[in-house]
């Protein structure tokens, strides 16, 4: 007699990364090539976010992390920063219902509490409304910088050590990981950067320790479900070794 379970869970396909992170770059250059203002590139970038989040869900990616605003992006002109915030408001207002419907959990990494109070409230509300969902996780990096994340984690651990709650000499990599904004997310498998730039720009430095890196020339507003499918196919061809043979 077979003892196979009647309901088998969805097969885990090793060729599909569990956690994909994307550095969505190239909006400005996309707009420039069309003689449009940079904000037009950001608007088109939001459309790409919709396409790619839907595609990632359809492909069975458990967690998708999108770099939307870095802690260094405050260096941009005030009107561009304002336009990016405006687009974020619009995105949450128009897409929250779909995320709830699709059983997506929304999480934010980064110090988003530095944003305008209404935007902070909007983000908190969106996270609360999706907190009990059990499906894929959409992580948006807002005012995120990996070094600031590590500094904050280090300070919390140092404070606990100073208070005698933990032994500083016994701190492990797991302890550090538990203090990061990404705690409890699946391990990062694949980092994709669009627009041809080949750098991490302070994104998930710790988490990317053994992630596969993929740099594509496509500008973010041109990124489609097919671009993601190609990236995932390329990931499937990589041989991950983690220092072993």
Catalytic positions, written as ranges: 25, 73
Nearer to ligand IPE, 76 or 238 (CB): 76
What region does 7 belong to: left with phi over 0, alpha with psi -120 to 50, or beta?
A: beta
Stretch that binds ligand IPE, among 113-121, 149-157, 172-180, 194-202 (CB under 6 A): 194-202
Alpha-carbon gap, residue 45 to 243, rounded angstroms = 37
CB 66 within 8 A of CB 141: yes
Is residue 25 involved in binding Mg ion (CB under 5 A)?
yes
Q: Is 212 annotated as a binding residue?
A: yes
Is residue 68 involved in binding ligand IPE (CB under 6 A)?
yes
CA 99 vs. chain centroid, Å, equals 15
The site partner of 179 among Mg ion, ligand IPE, none (C-beta below 5 to 8 Å per kind) is none
Closest residue to Mg ion, based on beta-carbon distance: 25
Instruction: Please classify residue 99 by burial: count the beta carbons closer than 10 Å to its beta carbon, then call 0-12 exposed, 13-18 middle and 19+ buried.
Output: buried
Nearer to Mg ion, 25 or 212 (CB): 25
Region 200-219 residues binding ligand IPE, contact defined as CB under 6 A? 201
Q: What is the signed CA dihedral for 225, 32, 81, 122, rounded to 10 degrees?
A: -30
Alpha-carbon gap, residue 83 to 235, rounded angstroms = 34
Is residue 24 involved in binding ligand IPE (CB under 6 A)?
yes
Closest distance between ligand IPE and the C-beta of residue 73, in Å?
5
Of the residues 197, 205, 208, 215, which one makes contact with ligand IPE according to CB under 6 A:
197
Of the residues 17, 21, 26, 189, which one makes contact with ligand IPE according to CB under 6 A:
26
The site partner of 133 among ligand IPE, Mg ion, none (C-beta below 5 to 8 Å per kind) is none
CB 42 within 8 A of CB 220: no
Of the residues 67, 112, 223, 235, which one makes contact with ligand IPE according to CB under 6 A:
67
Is residue 223 involved in binding ligand IPE (CB under 6 A)?
no
Instruction: Please give the residue ranges that form the binding site for Mg ion (CB under 5 A).
Output: 25
Q: Binding site for Mg(2+): which residues?
A: 25, 212
Instruction: Please give the residue ranges that form the binding site for ligand IPE (CB under 6 A).
Output: 23-29, 67-70, 73, 84, 195, 197, 199, 201, 220
Q: Binding site: which residues?
A: 25-30, 38, 42, 70-72, 74, 76, 193, 199-201, 212
């Amino acid at each position: 007699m077979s003892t196979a379970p009647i309901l088998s869970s969805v097969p885990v396909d090793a060729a599909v990364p569990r956690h994909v992170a994307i550095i969505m770059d190239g909006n400005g250059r996309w707009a420039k090539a069309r003689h449009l203002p940079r904000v037009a590139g950001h608007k088109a970038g939001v459309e790409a976010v919709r396409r790619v989040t839907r595609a990632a869900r359809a492909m069975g990616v458990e967690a998708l992390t999108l770099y939307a605003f870095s802690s260094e992006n405050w260096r941009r002109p005030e009107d561009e920063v304002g336009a990016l915030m405006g687009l974020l408001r619009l995105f949450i207002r128009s897409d929250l219902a779909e995320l709830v419907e699709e059983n997506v959990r929304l999480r934010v990494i980064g110090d988003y509490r530095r944003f305008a109070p209404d935007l902070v409230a909007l983000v908190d509300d969106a996270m609360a409304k999706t907190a009990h969902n059990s499906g894929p996780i959409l992580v948006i990096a807002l005012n995120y910088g990996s070094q600031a994340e590590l500094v904050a984690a280090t300070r919390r651990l140092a404070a606990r050590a100073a208070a005698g709650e933990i032994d500083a000499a016994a701190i492990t990599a797991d302890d550090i990981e538990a203090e990061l904004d990404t705690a409890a997310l699946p391990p990062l498998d694949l980092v994709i950067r669009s627009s041809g730039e080949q750098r991490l720009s302070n994104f998930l430095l710790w988490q990317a320790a053994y992630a596969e890196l993929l740099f594509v020339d496509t500008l973010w507003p041109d990124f489609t479900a097919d671009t993601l499918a190609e990236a995932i196919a390329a990931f499937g061809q990589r041989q991950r070794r983690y220092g072993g043979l």
